[in-house]
Amino acid sequence: MEIEGLEGVVILSGGTDGNDGPTEAAGAVVDGTTCRRARELGMEAEDFLMRNDSHTFFCRLGDHIITGPTHTNVMDIMLCLTGGK
């Protein structure tokens, strides 16, 4: 929500084992367009955050990372890439 409207910022968060909790998603990617795209679908990011329901939020946006089982469990990884203007 804090990066809304920013260009050149991408954040990835995911698990190296290929799933986040009891879901098929390894994680998700967000950028400066995520909240706007969610609103266009009738969703408010804050509502999903308050319910701890990132899975439904990112599933509806199509922003999940789906890898399938990797058979490793090294760590969770979070990357923030910046560039551009």
Q: Residue 21 has what pLDDT?
A: 78
Q: Residue 73 has what pLDDT?
A: 86
| Residues linked to residue 14 through DSSP beta bridges, in sequence order | 27, 77
List C-alpha distances in Å: 40 to 15, 33, 44, 63: 28, 11, 9, 15
| Predicted confidence pLDDT, tens digits, the chain (85 residues) | 788 989 899 999 999 998 877 888 999 999 999 999 999 999 999 999 999 999 999 999 999 999 998 998 888 999 999 986 5
pLDDT digits (tens, 9 = 90+) for 12-25: 999 999 887 788 89
Q: Residue 84 has what pLDDT?
A: 66
